[in-house]
Amino acid sequence: MHRIFLNESSLLKRPVVIEHEKAHYLFSVLRCRAGDHLIVTDEKGKSYTAQILTASKKEVIADITGDYVIKTESGLSITLLQGLLKGEKMDFVIQKTTELGVSALIPVITERSQIRETRKLPRWKKIAEEAARQSGRSFVPEIFEPFDFEEIFNCPGLLAKEGMLFWEKGGQKLSAVTSRLRHADRLSLFIGPEGGFSEKEVITASEKGFFTTTLGRRILRAETASIAAISIVQYALGDLG
C-alpha cells in the first residue's frame, strides 16, 4: 500500500481531508482513486490504514479503517551534526542519512564552512519526508535551521550527552569508540564541511565530552563521510546488518 505522512491534527477529523501538494501527489503521481487503500502516519509515528472515498488533484478524502504497526526504527537515536555543505550535497546527505535512520539532522556553520546562511529548510524537510516514506520509516527526522558551531553546546537537550566527532587528521579508532559507547541509546555525530573541522573546534568538542575519531587514512568527501559514519555506527550499535 502507498504511504503518506500527515499532521496529527489532520487525522483528528473524520473522514480525513488531504489537500494541496499531498492530494496532488496521491492523485496525479500515485494514481490513487476511490476505493484504494493507504497507510497514513502522523508526526509521532502512529500509523493507520485508510480507504480513499473520493480523489482529485486538489483534495483526497479518506476514511480511517484501523491501526497499523510499523517497526522500522532503530533503537539507537542518532543526531547528525553536519557541517553546512554547498549546493545539492546537503540535499544528498539529508536524503541518504534519513534512509539510514537518523533521528535528527542539524546543519552546522563552522570555521571552514563555504556558505554561512541558507533558506532551504522547507526543501530539506520535504526531502527528509520523501526519504522517510520511501524507506518505510514511521518517523520523519527533525531537520533544524543551521546553528553556529559554538552555539550548539549552549542548547540543553539539543545534543545527546555522548557522541563523536569525525576528523580526517586522526583520533581514536572508531572500533574502540563504538565499544566504549555500547550502552548508549542516543548519540550525536559531528561531520565536518568541505575542508573539515578546525583544531579549535575539535578541542571544543573534546572538552564537551565528545570522542574524536576517524574513518581511516583516506580522506573522504564530506557527503561520503556522513553516509559511511552513520552506516558504521548503525551496524555497530544500531539495527543495520
pLDDT in tens, the chain (241 residues): 899 999 888 888 889 999 999 999 999 999 999 999 999 999 888 999 999 999 999 999 999 999 999 999 999 999 999 999 988 999 999 999 999 999 999 999 999 888 877 889 999 999 999 999 999 999 999 999 999 999 999 987 899 989 999 999 888 999 999 999 999 999 999 999 998 999 999 999 999 999 999 999 898 999 999 999 999 999 999 999 8
Choosing from 45, 68, 91, the residue where a domain stops is 68
What pLDDT is recorded for position 68? 93
CATH number at residue 170: 3.40.1280.10
In order of 54, 75, 153, 208, the CA distances from 157 in angstroms are 43, 19, 10, 14
Choosing from 68, 93, 115, the residue where a domain stops is 68
> Which of 29, 222, 11 has the alpha carbon at shortest distance from 133?
29
What pLDDT is recorded for position 157? 87
What pLDDT is recorded for position 235? 96
In order of 13, 127, 238, 241, the CA distances from 229 in angstroms are 42, 20, 12, 14
Q: How far out from the chain centre does Cα 145 lie?
A: 13
Are 9 and 123 within one domain? no
Choosing from 43, 68, 93, the residue where a domain stops is 68
Are 82 and 56 within one domain? no
Is the pTM higher than 0.85? The answer reads yes
Give yes or no for a contact between 174 and 213, defined as CB atoms under 8 angstroms apart. Answer: yes
- Domain around 179: 77-237
